Every structure is written in C-alpha cells, then in structure tokens.
A = this chain, B = another copy of it.
C-alpha cells in the first residue's frame, strides 16, 4: 500500500509509543488488539539495572516514563554510555536473545514490554511495525553518529553544552513546548553519568558546568535544576552547526 493511500491516525496512547506515529487506519484496530494481548508493564526504581550485558533478554520494550541508559564497560572498569532512552524510545533487538549493553534505570522507570517471540511474529505479519522500527533505528543511528562527532572532536566545554542542549531540546519536545523563552528542566543524570555519556571524568563535568554558570550561559538552582536563559547562546558553545538537530 503506497504511503499516500494511508489514512493518518495520530494516536496519543501513552502506553505504546511504538504506535504513536501515523499508521494505516485499516490496520489500526486489528493491530491494537494483538498488541494488547502480548504487552505488559515493568517498573524499575532509580538506579536499578534492567538487564546486564550478556544476560538473556526475552523481551523488547519501549520507555513509557522515566529515563534509562545503555552503557558498555571495559574489563578495567572504564565505562561509556552508548544510549540514552527517553519516553517513547525503544529497547531491545528483534532477532537477538541476549542484551548487548547494560540497561539501567537512572530515574524511576516504566517500560511497556512485549515478549520477543510474539513481537517478532507480529512484525512479520504487520509490516508497518517493522517500518516504524526501521525509522526509529535510523533515527537512533543518526543520533549515535552525532554523538560520535561529540566524543571524537569536541572539547569538554562543547560536550557539556551539547549535552545540555540535547536534554533541553528533548525535554521541550516531550512537554510539547515550542514557544521561545527560557528553558527550565531537571538534569536526569548525575555528574558521573554525564561523564560516562561524554567520555570525560566527573571532575571535568563539574568544572565545566561551574564555568558555564559563572558565565551566565546557564543558571543552576541546587545541583540539578537548570535554567537556560538563551538557547542560542548555549548552542554557540556546543559548536553545533545544525540547530534543528538530530531529534526531529
């Protein structure tokens, strides 16, 4: 069925983010009922590990609320975060039975899970789920490549500014906030987690945040509550060329 024949349905279902985007109206009801049959929910407390790298993982899931991270660890303990999962992001890989990364809840977390086997069957019989998943995976790949530029070539200050910009932007998107004006949000990560994200040490993260605050580019209330008076000013520090960014 060609794309232009599709009847667009915008579904504001907070439970199944995989269905958030436009889908074919004809398939909608059928798909919904089948999804309902195989889905279930899991909750995790802040700090809890969802799965360890290498463990059996017999489900795929999408984040309903809260934040999870994917990290890789070397034998000597060096850690690198390789994914930051916000609400509506997808975890797990169809066609693989073990986790490739440590998945950790950094805040209280609720995920909508689907047992892997039924989900895979459903993917085969419901093409647009696969298409949607492909689209999401391609977005993630773009984000990963943006992140590679950050890790490989940006200075510590640029890294911090970029991270703040990413969080601010995604946060604004979630709140459906589009108007100009100061952005206000809480950092969902500790300094150490930010360091693991950015390929820095926590001391450097702390110092650079202090510097940005000292210069008025961000305001800090406590350790986590951030106000960004001028987003463009922050983007300048981030060294980003594209301001639309990868998170459309």
Interface residues of A (CB under 8 A from B): 1-3, 70, 72, 74-76, 78-80, 82-83, 93-95, 100-101, 120-121, 123-124, 127, 130-131, 133-135, 137-138, 140-142, 144-149, 151-153, 198-199, 239, 241
Contact = CB atoms under 8 A, between A and B. Distances in A.
Contacts of A101: 145
A237 B95 CA distance: 31
A168 to B, nearest CB: 20
A80 B148 contact: yes
A153 B74 contact: yes
Contacts of A133: 134
Interface of A is mostly: helix
Given A100-B142, A239-B74, A152 B153 contact: no
Which 10 A-B residue pairs are closest in the complex by CB-CB distance? A152-B199, A151-B151, A82-B145, A144-B144, A80-B152, A80-B149, A78-B153, A127-B127, A151-B152, A134-B134
Contacts of A145: 70, 72, 82-83, 100-101, 144
B127 A124 contact: yes
Nearest to A240: B74
Nearest to A121: B2
Nearest to A246: B100
Nearest to A239: B74
A199 to B, nearest CB: 3
A218 B30 CA distance: 59
Nearest to A93: B138
A171 to B, nearest CB: 22
Residue of A82, A120, A145, A151 ringed by the most chain B CB atoms within 10 A: A145
A137 B135 CA distance: 10
Contacts of A147: 148
Interface centre among A123, A124, A149 (most CB of B within 10 A): A149
Nearest to A5: B124
7 contacts: A2-B124, A3-B124, A82-B148, A100-B145, A130-B130, A130-B131, A152-B198
